[in-house]
Structure 1
Amino acid sequence: MNTTELPRLTVIGTGYLGATHAICMAVLGFEVLGVDVDQAKIDKLASGEVPFFEPGLPELLTKALESGRLRFSTSFEEAGEFGDVHFVCVGTPQQAGSDAADLSYVHAAFRSLAPHMHRRALVVGKSTVPVGTAKQLAETVRDLAPAGAEAELAWNPEFLREGFAVDDTMRPDRLVFGVESEWAEERLRAAYKPVLDLGTPVVRTDLATAELVKVAANSFLATKISYINAMAEVCEAVGADIKDLADSLALDDRIGGKFLKPGLGFGGGCLPKDIRAFAHRAEEIGVGQAVSFLREVDDINRRRRARTVDLVREMLGGISGKRIAAWGAAFKPNSDDIRDAPALDVARTMHGLGGHVRVFDPAALDNARRAFPDLRYGDSAFDVARDADVVVLLTEWSEFREVDPEALAEVVKHKRIVDGRHALNADQWRAAGWEYRALGRS
């Protein structure tokens, strides 16, 4: 590929989204400059270390650095001089004490970059923001950039799934371009040329629609997850089986089986804060009633954590003084992300009730130890299960799903397991003499 035909890219913000985007774009043949105000992040990445767990990304970082197409800096002046297309990938966490999104990092990134835009260039927001934010940021860019109206803004939402971020960046199922001119669309198409050459569908739209796509998608997925978990509550009340119910629904092609899996519910840095911010923003613009159901979606999801603790309590006849093996800390497998992780929430609740809880996770232990030093941790699934009164599966890592129940029986005190993720074969475990419980199953 002749890289002289491709625009030079900057990526502002080198967290999960930004680092992944910068690395993958460099591997695809672009010259990329990653920019962050955190010198420690920049130093780690420049030395070849990915500061979070994501399968396949460390190898790609090494490849990108060795190619000479990827480098990192803390200088916005350098970014302005270097980049033809600037991707802004900073975080929008939930505000403390509010459901609203904290946009301080987004505004700071645009205000820091714009004064160094001396020539025609495109700034592309990828962060998840409340609808209407892009219009404000476009005015900021025009007001602060020496290039004036020649500094344009577009919105290009991200759809990364943790654990699959490399594929989602290099082979996405769609790209959404929120643009205000033909030139902006042309620049975005050039910035994604290798991806578009694969036949990736593009939806061209306005700024507001592009802002809404990500939160609308996350709200739909969260609703589907909470729906099947609401059905699990009904099944528990009447003695029905949620797995059989979910399997039956999945065979309806109008519904499908994806995200129709009962269990402990969703967490992480996206779905919970995005649906809360969406509901908050809808109320601000006078359409809160239209998405009021998202409040109940959130409540159903929270209840699954408490109900999982109830299952453990029911199985043990009380939690205080009992030895509990907690399998999982990350909010999902193939990730070290513990933000709003249901697994750690359940482990901490059981610890608070007097249980002797030991936690193991294949990737998230360091993050868990830093965030919750009051919990105890172990070196393996079997280590934390030694002499346990119950094993509680909280994150559905493949190594937990593949545990031999006969082998595990040799180390536990009692053969009891609570499957918080419907990840295990109940018949196999029961045949091995285990007392097996899962949400929504008799």
Structure 2
Amino acid sequence: MKQKTIKNEASLSGKGLFSGSAVEVKFIPAEADTGIVFVRTDNPSPTKIPAHVSSLIETSRRTALGKGEVTISTTEHCLAAVYALGIDNLVIEVAGPELPGLDGSAACYMEALKNAGIKQLAKDVNEFVVTEPIGIVEDDASIYALPGAEGKYTVSFDLNYNQVDAIGKQLFSFEVTPESFQREIAPARTFLLEKEAVEFQKNGIGSHLSPEDVLVIGEDGPISNEFRFEDECVRHKVLDIIGDLVLAGVRIKGKIVASRSGHELNRKLAAKISELSRKQQRKKKRGTDALLDIRNIQRILPHRYPFLLVDKIVDIEHDSKIVGVKNVTFNELFFQGHFPSNPIMPGVLIVEALAQVSGLLFAQKLENTGKLAVLMTMNDVKIRRSVVPGDQLVLLAETEKVRRRSAQCRCQAKVDGKVAAEAVLKFMLIDDDV
């Protein structure tokens, strides 16, 4: 598949669903690999905000993005229409803090973008094919990305509002294509219960709206309004998922299955997909999933055979978190005496491996370049299972405190997803004069 943008500029105007602020939106064609980028144009200096999980800010009942103090909220309806039309690159100029709510659906966005025309670009689409289950579960809510039919993207939602007779239990499954989205999903409006609407307006939210403008559901059904579909509520939940998962930054091929999921869980799944996609791309580009291979590690750590206990680094989040790997083989020197008839990796060496991966994490900070992390104290050390030849030890470290001369990490070592050892390690950072 090739990337796409729009042929011509398009625009919309309206009031924000939550804020009531009048706002204008302009859609502008973009070059390949631009991605979807919002631009707040009502500030003295226009601010670019990528439609990506890295721009997410915490909000309830809607999805908001931000950069510094500048934010744009209620992005999901617009982004769902962008994705359904296969648009990968687009600049969206917004003269306000919230996108227009319009009728609470994605229909107007779909129509405006479709009328602008779709243009194919030369570069390939960045796809993410789901090959194994990815899930987020919180209380009785869940959302999963599962392997699906080849080349297809489907979304299924189980909505349960048994406490409201007008909604009840609704199930809907849908394959995302431009035609089916415009027909079956785009017209589905956001909804809220009558008591929620009253509470919102008491707090000054949506005070410009009446039941004719938004789908408010009472005990007997919509108030001063009508459903566009018998199952409009679950269809809108599907719309929200499609819009929120755009923030993963990839075209998803697989099956999304959700139950009672909302924006928060949707966004967490988008973050997981984005992370796994980066790893897939890295492995494809380099032939390995390693961010740091053994040669890079040796440039940072002074340890050498037989005491270098990290083979590669597969993930780094700035200077806050790191994931490394130690492949445990029978050729390890320590297995000759621990124990010849029942080889087990010494717990103290597992802790040492965690200390080494922590040292690699501290080295990500520029001011720690050339410093050596010397282990000072070990607290809350627990060895939870044996590590034997053939195991792959996954080493995780997260910084808790970093000062000029000391640092502390919370660490775990896992085998097959199960914790083998854990500890809180404190280090002294000294100049490496070796």
Compare relative contact order (CA 8 Å, sep 6+) and give the higher one, 1 or 2.
2
Higher Rg: 2
Same-fold status (TM-score > 0.5):
no
TM-score (norm 2): 0.24
Q: Structure 1 or 2: larger helix share?
A: 1
TM-score (norm 1): 0.24
